[in-house]
Structures are given as C-alpha cells and as structure tokens.
Chain A
Amino acid sequence: MGISVILLVMLGLTVAGYLLGTRQALVVTGHNPHQLHSLPSYHGLYLASWVLLPALIVMAIWLIAEPHVAELRLVANLPDGFSQRSFDEQRLLIGDIQARALGGIVSGALDPAFQAAGEAYAGTLAASRWVMIAVMLALMVGGGLIALRQVRPDMRARNRVEKTASVIMIVASTIAIMTTVGIIFSLLFETGRFFSKVPITEFLFGTQWSPQIALRADQVGSSGAFGAIPLFAGTLLITLIAMCVAVPIGLFSAIYMSEYAGKRVRASAKPVLEILAGVPTVVYGFFAALTVAPFFRNTGESIGLTVSSESALAAGIVMGIMIIPFVSSLSDDVMNAVPQSLRDGAYALGATKAETVRQVILPAALPGIVGSVLLAVSRAVGETMIVVMAAGLAANLTANPLEAVTTVTVQIVTLLVGDQEFDSAKTLAAFALGLTLFFVTLCLNVIALNVVRKYREKYD
C-alpha cells in the first residue's frame, strides 16, 4: 500500500472524527448547544486533531527510522566475511543487496548468501510497512475514542484547539528557521573544507582566478589559482554600472510619481513599472546577450573602440533596468510617507515644486531612499541569470566596462555545472563564494532594513 493511499485514509478518518466530535457535542447536551463551553465545531476539531496528529507524528518517525533499522538487521544477517571488508566495500555491497532486493540496477553478480540476506531485507521492509499501517490505524481509532469520551459540556475544547494550533504554527516556523540555519551551516562546513585545501588569504586577496585541478602532475595548466579578487571586482563593476542606471532613473521616476503625477497617472504608471520586477531574469538575460551586447559592440567598433562581445557594460545596464522598480517603488513609498503638512509649509513660504522636492521632501525621505538603494544593491550583487548569459567567464581584473568581466555568481554556476567530484577544491570553492555572497547581501539587507525602519519611526 503506497504512502498516498495511507494519507488519503488518514484524511478520511480525520474528517470523520471532526463530524463525529461535532455531533457528539450536540448529543451530550441533548441538542442544546448553549450548555457547551465551546462551540460544537471546536469539539469536532479537537477530536480530529486527536485522530490525525499522533498518527502523523508516528508515521513521520517511522518513515525516517525504517531504512536505518532495516539496514541494521540486514548487516546482522550477513555472513561473517562481511565485517572484514573495508568500509567502502561494505557500503557498495549493501547498496547492491538493497538494489537487488528492491528491483534496482546491480553492479554485478551477487553471492547466494547475500542474495538470501537481500530477500530477508525486502521481507523486513514489507512487514514494517504493514506494522506501521496497523499501528497508525490503532492510534487513530484509539485517539478518536479517547477524545470522544472527553466530550462534555464543560470541556474546554476551544482553549485546547487554540493551544494545538499555536504549537503547529511554532513547528512550521521552526522548520523554516532550521532550514535557513541548516543552509548556513552547510555553507560554513563546506567552506571550512575548502579553506583546508586553499589558504583563506589566497582566496580573499589573490588576484588570480583559474579554478582547475590537475588530473596528472604533468598536465598543462595544472596549477589552480583561487584568488577571488577579480570576481569581487567584476561583481562590483557590474553592480556599479547597474546602480548608475537604476538610481537616477528610479529616483526621478519616484519623484515624478509621488510629487508631480496626477492620481490617475500614478495609479497606472506604478504597476507598469513594477511589472519590470516581474519579468523573469532569464528574459533580461537573453535580451542582454542577444540585443544589448551586440549593439554596444557594433557601436563601439564604428567609433573605433574595442568592445568585448560580453562587456560588463551590457550586463550592468540590463541589470540596472531590472532593478529600477526596486529603487522607484520603495522611494515612491517613502516620499509619500512624508507628511503633506511639510509640503504645505514649503509651498506657503513660496517655494516652487522643485524647491520643495529638493529641499524638503528629499532630505526628509533620504534615509528611506538610501534603504531602497541598498536593497537594490544587494539584489544586484546576488543576481545570477543576467550575468551568466551576458557577462563573460574570464576573470579579468579591470575597471574598463567595455571588457568582459566575471562575477561571483557566474563562477558559482560554472564551478558546479556538469559532472564534478564534490570534494575537490574546485567545487568546494563554490561554497566559499556562496558564503561570501550570502554574507555581503545579508549585511546590506540588515543595514537597509534598519535605515528604513529608523525612518519610519520618525513621523509616527
């Protein structure tokens, strides 16, 4: 019986439990619900949670533990010769036995002794599944009966249901937080392994990036270099170009929308601008690679400049267009939050609209604008698809926007694409880069959110 069938049965029983609880609450009061402490539906929910939750928890634990327990039993059944083998051989053999027993692909012929152990293993798994179903059914029926007997007029079902709901929410948020923490620890752990192969000073301060590992000692270009400075510089250059596009355009459109545009223009223009944020980045990517970059190269050639066909300029400008809405939308919001009374005060003194914007609105909204720009920067630093498609792969250390540069995100992608061994310095470098990127964007976000929050408090 598959897991999905089990889940369907559980769902059915839970609904039945709910209906039963609701009905029972009415029955015990002789169809006079006013005597109840809690509404009948709470009794139903209480009964349903008794049916569902214990069985669900047991099932989760069972499914996690089942393969490990079965494997332990398998190993115990194996002939004596097994424990003399090396660890890698043991793992390989167990894999083969499991695959044979469950109908997968096997690397070679198996010893009859192992064959027998494999059959026992498959039997164990099947038995375990049936035992689990039996236990769960027992739990659901038992839980339901316990709860059913508790249905009395003075039973505080509402309070208990509320308590259960809050526990479920705590569990949900804990899962989300623990996932984040898990990602951070995985990054930290793998980065630690990388730094045991490559010194941290070389990674942070080296100016050579050529992440390859020699297969043979006499191979051409066998010496890998893991200096990440060219990647940081490339990321910085492209981000800088992007901000040069996004900040003026975003800011001016925000000023226009919040101060000059009429209500109707604003109501239609703002969503249109925000659509820019909804365009998939891969679309921007091929736009940059197929339209903008060739245009810059041709224009450059016609005026005698050497422009790389994967120039930082093209990637930066397209990325800038992508993050315009981040700047404009947030800045527009903070400028709208500046009280009308300040505008009135300036107008009443005879200030023109431009003077009011420049001398009153912008200074008052500055912290919020800075916050929005920082958020846009962190978005630009972490942006991947546009630069993968439009920026180069060569790690040039240059400040010339017409040359090809590469970024941290591009290198992470190229390091991990294709068949790789996951313990070489080459692949582990991706984790170090990822951690650096994570750290930078986290800092930018924290600063930006703090700046924005500080501003918000000002007029409350």
Chain B
Amino acid sequence: MQEVQETMTDSGTVSTPGTAGARAENPAALANEKPVKIKSRDVNVFYGEAHALKHVDLDIRQHEVTSLIGPSGCGKSTYLRCINRMNDVIDGCRVEGSIEMDGEDVYDPKLDVVQLRARVGMVFQKPNPFPKSIYDNIAYGPRIHGIGSTKSEMDEIVQGSLQRAGLWEEVKDRMDTPGTGLSGGQQQRLCIARAIAVNPEVILMDEPCSALDPIATAKIEELIDELRQNFTIVIVTHSMQQAARVSQRTAFFHLGILVETDETEQIFTNPKDQRTQDYITGRFG
C-alpha cells in the first residue's frame, strides 16, 4: 500500500510531461505532446453475444482531458468502464485486447483490481453519494485503502479533497449532515471529491453533468479544467459544446467503432471522417 501511495504522489505532483515508462512506450512523442498514460490496442467488448466495442485503439495522454463523444449506444461508456474494470461486475461481459496503464496491463490476472481502482477514480452520470455524512463519504475511500490513519490526517485529506472539488466553503459547517441532502450539483462535486480523496492518477467521468442544471454544469466544467493539472481525465459526454470547452483531445465513437481521434480543435473544425462531420454538424445522433 505504501508503494502505491508513493507512485500516486509521483504522478500526482509531477506536472512536466513524462514518466519514464510512458516515454519509453512512446518514443515518437513530439515536444508539445504529452506522454501516453493509457494505451488501448484492439479492445473488443462483448455483452453475451452482442459485440459492443470493436477493435478500439486509443491513446489517452497524461494531464489532459480526453472526451469521448458519440451517439447513444456507441460504446463510449463501455470503453470508459473497461479502464477501471467496472465491466467485471456485469454478468456476461467479456473484454478482449489490451489496455495498458503506464505500461502495465490492466487485465493482467495478477493485477489487483482494488489497487487499480485506487489509481483510476470514477464519477458517475447520476450523483451517487453514500447515505452517510459528507465527511464519511470523502473518508470512505482513504479508509478502505488504509490512507490517513490518524484523525488529523483524515481531516486533512477530507478538507483537501473538498477544497480541490470546490465544495469546502459550502459544506464546511455541516460535515456531519448526510451527503444525500446536498443539491444535485453539490452531490456531484462531492462524488468528485470522494474520487480524488484516494489521490488517483486517472479520473473517469461518465456524463458527469447530464443530471445537472447549467450553473452546476459550468462549475463542474471549471473544476475539470483545474483538475487537469494533477490528474489525467477521461470524460464521456453527450454535449459537443462541453467536449469542445473542457477537453484537449476528443475521440468519436460510432456503433462500437472508434471512428476518429484527434486534438479537440481538429475534430470540431476539420474532421477527417465523414461520419464525424455528420455527427458534429448534427446530421445524426
């Protein structure tokens, strides 16, 4: 556990590009291109007989926001859930191909999924705070990973996570009230704070704003932009404006196929594929 924590601190604080592993994997990286954090090759996902995700090759770069867009049922959430192996809990779901994080195979049978999920946090579509106090919601992750053994350390982690999620000022006087009593936007920021409390390297967000009003959405987007300094973020979104606003890189999925991936600006101004062009101009989806 100590070891994990150290690597987390490393990647969490280093803001200049590149850990050694990632650089070795990606020798062709240009000077302005950040190193690859997660490398997927020929990823296929099956739900029973249905082939949900087909031959996906995708690189996700460190300290960038990568957005996954595409019409409903195109496989973007499925891909997201492959990264922290949340598909494991779904009956009849089978993942093929390789997903590597810092050169380590995520689907290596020797890899402990608990430690993987400590390194890859996740925020869901609908805010899902536990029916516990705000404090316990944040402290839940650190407790199960044995981080923050003393009360004061835990207080620090909780306060720090809430501050980074921009929620501290709003809730500092009612840490003992249930997390389910907050407003929708606050609940979602609580869930983000809960995810960053275990100091992950990657944060996956599955349509984090789809249940929120525009003002709460703006706050979350602002927060995502700040979090980019310390975390690698992958966000699934239905809103192309949101993808354009928050992400540096965009991947367009259609019918389980990764159609196109490029810098966000490129995708929205000069898409190479006709399907991408049709989707972003609103011809389908």
Contact = CB atoms under 8 A, between A and B. Distances in A.
B89 A347 contact: yes
A364 B131 contact: yes
Contact of A348 (B117, B126, B129, B145): B117
A359 B140 contact: yes
Interface of chain A, helix or strand or loop or mixed?
A: helix
A363 interface: yes
A346 interface: yes
Interface string A349-387: 111100100011001100000000000000000000000
B86 A349 contact: no
Interface residues of B, number: 27
B89 A341 contact: no
Contacts of B113: 350
A169 to B, nearest CB: 40
A345 interface: yes
Residue of B121, B126, B140 ringed by the most chain A CB atoms within 10 A: B140
B104 to A, nearest CB: 16
Contacts of A68: none
Contacts of A345: 124, 128-130, 191, 194
Residue of A263, A344, A364 ringed by the most chain B CB atoms within 10 A: A344
Given A350-B118, A352-B114, A355-B144, A263 B89 contact: no
Contacts of B86: 344, 347-348
A189 B71 CA distance: 72
A171 interface: no
B115 interface: yes
Contacts of B117: 347-350
Contacts of B118: 349-350
Contacts of A344: 86, 89, 122, 124, 128
Contacts of B131: 342, 363-364, 458
Nearest to A345: B128
A341 B114 contact: no
A359 B145 CA distance: 14
Interface residues of A, number: 21
Contacts of B198: 349-350
B84 interface: yes
A278 interface: no
Given A339-B128, A342-B128, A355-B144, A350 B115 contact: yes
B184 interface: no
B165 to A, nearest CB: 15
Nearest to A350: B117
Given A348-B121, A348-B195, A349-B198, A363 B141 contact: no
A359 to B, nearest CB: 7
Interface in A420-460: 458
A346 B126 contact: no
B88 to A, nearest CB: 9
A112 interface: no
A348 B194 CA distance: 10
Contacts of A349: 117-118, 121, 140-141, 144, 194-195, 198
A10 B132 CA distance: 65
A262 interface: yes
Interface string B134-157: 000000110011000000000000
A17 B91 CA distance: 60
A263 B91 CA distance: 9
Nearest to B142: A349
A360 B143 CA distance: 13
Given A350-B144, A364-B131, 11 more contacts: A341-B128, A342-B128, A344-B124, A346-B130, A346-B140, A348-B86, A349-B121, A349-B194, A350-B198, A352-B114, A364-B130
23 contacts: A343-B89, A344-B86, A344-B89, A344-B122, A344-B128, A345-B191, A347-B86, A347-B117, A348-B122, A349-B194, A349-B198, A350-B115, A350-B116, A350-B141, A350-B144, A350-B198, A351-B114, A351-B140, A355-B144, A359-B144, A363-B131, A364-B131, A458-B131
Which 3 residue pairs are nearest across A and B when measured between Cβ atoms? A348-B122, A350-B117, A341-B128
